[in-house]
Structure 1
């Protein structure tokens, strides 16, 4: 019995870790194809509906230089989780701009997790359980120990880089 339980746990672990990246499904809530679960930057920038806004908005966004200088002083080994919807207008605007900021900061791509949700703001296999997602996009900053430092939900209070600076200042 113990052996059977161990095998079952291994299979469940493999299923979660072997989750398809950039998975496309048809979302009944939105009546269209969307991305779901873990994604890569390449995946979202090649998904037609998201790409059509990503490229021009990314190119046009100019983060505030003074804010970026302050941010560069504060960034260490934090991790950022971006929960978004490929169907969501706010995600289509804010995710490209957020990536422009991360690129300008030379933020490590490996420290960014990108998770797409459906029209009900859910992902599969419980990968966003515990993140308390009510609106998208949600940008969550974690310290290297996994403690949440802060989040930007749906849109910034000031600017994306300004709100990000406020989050990083709270850890100091």
Structure 2
């Protein structure tokens, strides 16, 4: 019995290790233009040159609407997010730090967030396929594996980003800036 448990343990450790290695190939790396392409995290944007050029300043400068943050928090508990952005894109540089600040203030579990950085052609090693990414940033919100809405490029009606997100996750009929 001990040999079986030992064999299963070794198998699971090996499986986890190979899973991490296969996912590591998508880690964001700089392309020939110096832009990140691949899966990225908030920590990637805090590093140079992104941190000093745009991320840290936008993050610190953005003041969230606290009332909206408190309304938004319970709606995010069962949501997953797939996000696409470009480190070359001014809209992404503005909205992504604000997006992270909102997620941090709502205590969003960032294990339920996948952020993909794309090149100027909005490509990222094929990860973007099937998501219909025409503009960045695009934040796609899911509940129970089903898309419930998306934020595309900028807020609607000069709203705060957190108000757009609240409208999406609360099911209030949000249409992004390019949706008819």
Q: TM-score range by the shorter chain?
A: 0.7 to 0.9
Aligned length: 152
Q: Assess, with a 3 A threshold, how the Cα gap between structure 1 residues 24 and 73 changes in structure 2: closer, same or farther.
A: same
Q: C-alpha separation between the residues in 2 aligned to 1:87 and 1:69?
A: 32
Q: Deviations over 1:36-79 (max 9, x none)?
A: 01112211221404542111111111111111111123222211
Q: 2:83 touches 2:114 (CA, 8 Å); kept in 1?
A: yes
Q: 2:138 touches 2:151 (CA, 8 Å); kept in 1?
A: yes
Q: C-alpha separation between the residues in 1 aligned to 2:46 and 2:20?
A: 28
TM-score (norm 1): 0.81
What root-mean-square deviation, in Å, do the aligned CA atoms of Structure 1 and Structure 2 show? Answer: 1.9
2:159 matches 1:153: no
Q: Assess, with a 3 A threshold, how the Cα gap between structure 1 residues 16 and 57 changes in structure 2: closer, same or farther.
A: same
Q: Where does structure 1 differ by over 3 angstroms across 4 or more consecutive aligned residues?
A: 13-18
Q: 2:122 touches 2:128 (CA, 8 Å); kept in 1?
A: no
Alignment partner, residue 36 of structure 1? 37
Q: Alpha-carbon deviation of 1:108?
A: 0.7
Q: C-alpha separation between the residues in 2 aligned to 1:15 and 1:75?
A: 30
- Structure 1 unmatched ranges of 5 or more: 1-12, 27-31
Please show how residues 1-172 of structure 1 align to structure 2 within 5 Å: 17-26=23-32, 32-49=33-50, 51-124=52-125, 126-143=126-143, 145-157=144-156, 158-170=159-171
Alignment partner, residue 7 of structure 1? none
Q: 2:35 touches 2:88 (CA, 8 Å); kept in 1?
A: yes
Q: C-alpha separation between the residues in 2 aligned to 1:163 and 1:44?
A: 23
Q: Report the secondary structure of 1:113's partner residue.
A: strand
Q: 1:141 touches 1:151 (CA, 8 Å); kept in 2?
A: yes
TM-score (norm 2): 0.78
Q: 2:42 touches 2:100 (CA, 8 Å); kept in 1?
A: no
Q: C-alpha separation between the residues in 2 aligned to 1:165 and 1:16?
A: 34
